[in-house]
Chain A
Amino acid sequence: MIRMYHVTKRYGDVTALRDVSLKVGKGEFCYITGPSGAGKSTMLKLLYGAERPTEGKLLVGGVDVSKLRGRRLPALRRSMGVVFQDFKLIDTRSVAENVGLALEVIGTPRPVIERRVAAVLSIVGLRGRGHEYPPTLSGGEQQRVAVARAIVNDPSILLADEPTGNLDGAMAIEVMEILQSIQLRGTTVLVATHDAGLMERFPYRKLRFEHGRLVSS
């Protein structure tokens, strides 16, 4: 599903990733781990095309992401779900609208959007909270809205950047269970995290980064 060949990413003088080569199979659950500043977020950004590799080649589902132009990038993103580290919710839109956005941009009919949104909101434990607005929610609730939006379009790849970073223990476990259930339905899941306890409780393959290098996989 994901293949990287000698990928290097530099931001000016800072080298965020150095010569990374790896392979993640379809339907796999994988952690991207390592200390803060190791390049975890950069890895995910390369995968959803928010950044381009400085060197190397990057394939997602057989598509060379480093060369995506025009309409191909939106097409890639529609097949993905992304939980952003900073959630990226629209404060002036209701929870339901935030979640429905991923379906709206692909021209899904309104009634279908409403049904799907209600379904994923109950998956993340926010049943009936669709009319509320993000600023009125707790950090954990906002995190779960972000997860709901990432899974609403049944993505074939789910990328999550520190999805439990703002959650207390019980809530973190709940979110991890949701991600697990997504993977069980055949979705490839990549979770960037440095939470060792969580990785112990939910043991999966770890791609460990240090100073931009992949040190173990």
Chain B
Amino acid sequence: MHALQHILRRAIRSLWEQAYLNSVATFVIAAALLLMGVYLTVQFNLNAIVDSWDSDVHVSAYFKDDVPEQRRFELRDELAARREVASVRYFSEEDARRWLIDRVADIEPVLDELGPGVLPASLEITLVPERSNPEAIAAFARSLSSTDFDDIDDGREWVERFHAFLSLLQLLGAVLGALIVLAALFLVANTVYLIVYNRRDEVEIQKLVGATTTYIIAPFLLEGAAQGVLGGVVAIFGLWGVHRLLVVRLQEALQLGVAGDLVFLPVSWRLALLATGVVLGVLAAGVSVRRFLSTAA
């Protein structure tokens, strides 16, 4: 109990006395966490977007030009009656044109230039949730008559490609994250080694008067934990700054309303980032004190 007080006092004093080296270690941790945080924010937002697509799949069936309007309505009602179909919406050529003009500024002259038939009319079919899995959607798409429809887009291809892209991004992130952690560990461990080295007299004498290895190491580990917490807090504030900046920039760049949905990392992820910082700090301290004790016998 009292030993704990002594250890705490020692750690706090060292933080203070070696403020410069401790700041270096803290900023290295902060930088590493910031990089990881930026990556995680991107990943998190992309995941959220893809999830929203997953829950919002529909099949677009594009009519051939020569299908009369009467037949189009018949097909719509037929499909709406099917059990697996939740809803069907008819999307006329004019609807498609307006949808695009709403979203892409200055495209109207281009569409006029291209003339009619560029944007075919379509049915937008939403399946009941039980049938919204990739296989069921594909089967449904196949069941649609090919005499009436020119092209059937089940929306899966694109989503799947994006899923593949996300997996790749995840893998890349894991590799990059590991590299960042290793680099940070290396830098922090070397910084902490200097901190221990500056206190070598104290460490040697502690050993000579009967301090256990645990007792000698503990203050350094606490110091590492403090670096981790401080680094984590700095990183989270920095991340928040980057996030604000991105939201504003993105909103300026694209007027799509997508940027408004760019969310900050949820609390649990922020805590995980903080915990990573603490683990990093403690691990680095442990590694360097061990190294110091084994070389300085």
Contact = CB atoms under 8 A, between A and B. Distances in A.
Interface of A: 48, 50, 71, 74-78, 80, 82, 84, 88-93, 101-102, 104-110, 149, 153
Contacts, number: 57
A90 B206 CA distance: 10
Given A93-B202, A107-B1, A71 B6 contact: no
Interface in B135-192: none
B292 interface: no
Contacts of B212: 71, 74, 105
> Of residues A89, A102, A153, which shows the largest number of chain B Cβ atoms within 10 Å of its Cβ?
A102
Given A90-B202, A91-B201, A107 B2 contact: yes
> Of residues B2, B3, B210, which shows the largest number of chain A Cβ atoms within 10 Å of its Cβ?
B210
Interface in B1-50: 1-3, 5-6, 17
Contacts of B215: 105
A171 B202 CA distance: 27
Interface of A is mostly: loop
A61 B271 CA distance: 52
Contacts of B202: 90, 93
A105 B203 CA distance: 11
Interface residues of B, number: 19
Nearest to A75: B210
Given A90-B205, A93-B202, A104 B210 contact: no
B1 A101 contact: no
Contacts of B209: 77-78, 82, 101-102, 105, 149, 153
A136 B157 CA distance: 80
Nearest to A111: B2
Interface in B194-251: 201-202, 204-213, 215
A101 B209 CA distance: 8
A184 to B, nearest CB: 23
Contact of A105 (B5, B201, B204, B211): B211
A110 B210 contact: no
A74 B1 CA distance: 19
B2 A48 contact: no
B206 A105 contact: yes
